Amino acid sequence: MFTKSAPFYDAIYAFKDYEDEAERLRAMIQARVPSSEVTLLDVACGTGLHLQYLKKQYAVEGLDLDPNMLEIARRRCPGVPFHQGDLVAFDLGRRFEVVMCLFSSIGYAKTLARMQQAVLTMARHLCPGGLLLVEPWLTPDVFETGRFDARFVDEPDLKIARITTTSREGALSIIDFHYLVGTSDGVAHFTERHEVGLFTHDQYLDAFRAAGLAVDFDPDGFIEKGEFEGGAKTP
């Protein structure tokens, strides 16, 4: 889904303060996870923008489906293990104190059954007493169709206009991205269609509980859409 836009992801999302988000994650982890040597897995890690900061304190690993996003993440975070895999069904054969899935990436599971499977898969990678953090996508009642949005990048060597439109097919939100990208090579136009599942908060809560996690939703979470915090039982 991000295959064509991966080289421009960091420029498009330059407005997001990943360092501050990592700082808030650290405070949350410190408050919830007693271990002094925290291992952390970032599921749908993208270009490694959170991990570049978190790796200073924790033993981190990342997983993403898109090889182009992973290539940028590997360059950004040398020495950090990155895995190509689907957040719905992966098996790294080990467990982590913290597993997180941020910036609404869980929505790429698309269907309710696959979202439940993704939560179960992430829960299976948690140590006893570990913490699962999921920042959800929009819920079905607040997602608006027929919206359009524009974002612009105006750097000396890179100009981007990205226009987005939204539609919906049942519980699937559809975001069509139109990119116009100007570089010294000329101007390129391409489109990307993202299909992102719309799940209610109760559906997320049920998925956490079904995976054996005690769960809370913090609407004032550390990023814009709040986050679900699931704790794995201690043995």
Ligand X SMILES: C[S@@+](CC[C@H](N)C(=O)[O-])C[C@H]1O[C@@H](n2cnc3c(N)ncnc32)[C@H](O)[C@@H]1O
What mask, x for binding ligand X by CB under 6 A, covers residues 28 to 67? ----------------xxx--xx-------------xxx-
Site for ligand X in 99-118 (CB under 6 A): 102-103, 105, 108
Residue number with CB closer to ligand X (38 or 88): 88
Residue number with CB closer to ligand X (87 or 211): 87
CB of 186 to ligand X, least distance (A): 26
To 10 degrees, the CA torsion angle through 161, 46, 195, 172? -120
Give the binding-site size for ligand X (rule: CB under 6 A): 18
Q: Is 2 in the site for ligand X (CB under 6 A)?
A: yes
Structure tokens at 184: 């010294």
User: Cα(15)–Cα(17) distance, rounded to whole angstroms?
Assistant: 6
Strand ranges of the sheet holding 39-43, from the earlier edge strand across to the other edge: 82-84, 59-64, 39-43, 96-101, 126-134, 227-232, 213-218
Look at strands 227-232 and 213-218 and give their pairing: antiparallel
Residue number with CB closer to ligand X (40 or 87): 87
CB of 4 to ligand X, least distance (A): 12
Residue number with CB closer to ligand X (111 or 182): 111
CB of 109 to ligand X, least distance (A): 7
Contacts of 158 (CB under 8 A, 6+ apart): 8, 11, 181, 182, 183
Contacts of 80 (CB under 8 A, 6+ apart): 48, 51, 55, 60, 61, 62, 73, 74
CB of 155 to ligand X, least distance (A): 19
Binding residues (CB under 6 A) for ligand X: these are 1-2, 44-46, 49-50, 64-66, 69, 86-88, 102-103, 105, 108
